[in-house]
Structure formats: structure tokens, C-alpha cells
Amino acid sequence: MGEIAALSTACCWAVAARLFRQLGASFSPLALNFWKGLVAILILLPLTWAMPMQAELSQMDIFWLLLSGVIGIGLGDTCFFQSLNKIGDSQSLLVAETLAPIFTALLAMAWIAEWLNWQQWLGIALVILSVDMVIKLNRRDQTQIFEATGYVYAALAALCQAVGAVISRDILTSTGIDAANASQIRLLGGMAIIVLLMLGMRQRWLPKTDNPRRTWMVFGAATLIGTFAALYLQMVAFTYTKAAVVQTLFATSVILSLGIAWLLKERIHRQALLWSLLALVGVAILVGADSLSAAI
């Protein structure tokens, strides 16, 4: 069940990333994150009312869930939207979703002393090499504008995603909280930091657009798919499957994004596709070695 939820999440992200990229011309990254979070909270309210929280959470448990939302949703999604504006959905997903499992493994090693074996280091090397090659291919492509900061934002999004994943997995498994209520608490944490940042930076709250109706329709579809559905499915995945495995399955959004670009008849560098596939092989080796070592 967890694996199916993770693959469904990856599909949601691939579709939503394309829609959110279109919205980048109208919303600032913070404003887009604010509105999608607000709508997701409102959509989740009937679910949380219909399914009251059965688990008993301590103040510390709530704090950690809020913190995971601050980092994973508030900061991580904002960095990801900034990356979408600079390098597009395929490149952003490639960097963010292939680096996230690596960051997850490294964070686990640092925080709970889970050291990596040579197979896992091999997987990390393959992913880093593949991402580096795709970035270089994109830089040589004269039909696109190379934005180095876009890749930095994508990497920061991956780091925030990894931290949020580790914290969420810990709380979900230790408390037994359901996915809907966990998602709601995380969203509240994300919204808190977004509002503070927007007030502090004096960001514009409403979009600049010549066609408000179309903009809000695209926004509604992107939020329904990429925030409400994806966040709920993400919590289901973390409830039933190990965090590293879930992050690996999330990485398939890279291939799904390239598939969407192909369907839309966009130009895809053949070597970039091959390196993307190799990056996913590296992620699979990393998690496969982790599962094998756990079994031993």
C-alpha cells in the first residue's frame, strides 16, 4: 500500500510541477506557496472533522510535526517553486527528487549513526554523476538559458524534503497518527513560516495576471493535485513504507515529468534522458543496499 501511495505521489508531483511552472509568471514563490497551503488546509478540514485524531500526541510530537512542515513545506516548496521559475519542471524534479534520497541517507547516518556500506556509496556516486552530467548538458544547450541558482534552489528543496521526510516518518510510526491529521499539522507549520517571510519581505499576496480566471483555475488544479492529493498520499506512504524507499519511489517523478514533456512535443535531450535513468538506477542501488543490510 505504501509503495502504491508513493508512486501516486510521484505522478501527482510530475503533473503539478508543470502547472505550478505556468503560475510562476503570476505568483512569487512565497505567494504561490501561501495560497496552495491555505487551499489545502481548507480542503483537509472536512476530512479531519470526519476522522477525529485517535492518537494521543504530546506537545513535543506536535512540535516535531510542525517543524517538519516549516522545513519541508514552508521552506522546501518555496525553494522548489523558485527552481521551477529558473530551470523548469523536468530539471527541477531531476535534481530535487534524485538528491532527496541521498540527503535522507546522509541525515540518518549523522543523526542515528546508520553508516553507509560500499554499495550505498556506489549508488550515491551514480546519482551525483548523473545529475552533474544533466546540468552540463543543459548548460551546453544553446536553446535554453542556464540558471545556476535554479539548481541550488532545487538542491535546497531536496534537503528540506529529506529533513521533513525523516521527521514525519518518525512521528507517524511512533504515534500512529493518521495521514489526514498529520498533513494538516504539517501544513499549519508550513503556513506559519510562509506568512512570517511574506510579512518580513513585504511580498505581494495576489498574483499579477491579465487573465485572473484562467490563473486561478490552473492554480486550483495544481493545488488539488500537487498539494492536497500529493501530501495526503505522501503521509500514507510514510506510514506503511520506510522513508528511504518512499523517497526512491518519489524520484520516479523525474521520468514521469520527461514523459509529459515528450507528450507535449517538447525537445528532450536524449543523453539527458539516459543520465536521468542512470540517476534512478543509483537511487535504486542506494535503497536496495539499505534493505539488504537491514535484512542481514
- How far is Cα 243 from Cα 218, in angstroms, rounded to an integer? 31
Give the pLDDT of residue 143.
Answer: 45
Conformation bin of residue 87: beta by default, left when phi > 0, alpha when psi is -120 to 50: alpha
Is residue 88 within 8 A of residue 21, CB to CB? The reply is yes
Conformation bin of residue 265: beta by default, left when phi > 0, alpha when psi is -120 to 50: left
Domain-wise residue ranges, the chain: 1-294
The residue among 295, 197, 207, 289 whose CA lies nearest residue 248 is: 289
Q: Is the pLDDT of residue 217 over 50?
A: yes
Give the pLDDT of residue 3.
Answer: 72
Distance of CA 234 to the CA centre of its chain: 10
pLDDT band at 189 (very low <50, low <70, confident <90, very high): very high
SS3 state at 86: helix
Q: Quick one: which H or E segment has residue 71?
A: none
**Looking at per-residue confidence, does 130 or 296 come out higher?**
130
Residues sharing a CB contact under 8 Å with residue 289, sequence separation 6 or more, in sequence order: 117, 119, 120, 122, 123
pTM: 0.74
- pLDDT > 90: what percent of the chain? 20
> Cα separations (Å) of 168 from 60, 69, 131, 149, 218?
13, 9, 27, 28, 29
Residue 194 neighbours by CB distance under 10 Å: 28
pLDDT band at 209 (very low <50, low <70, confident <90, very high): confident
- How far is Cα 167 from Cα 146, in angstroms, rounded to an integer? 34
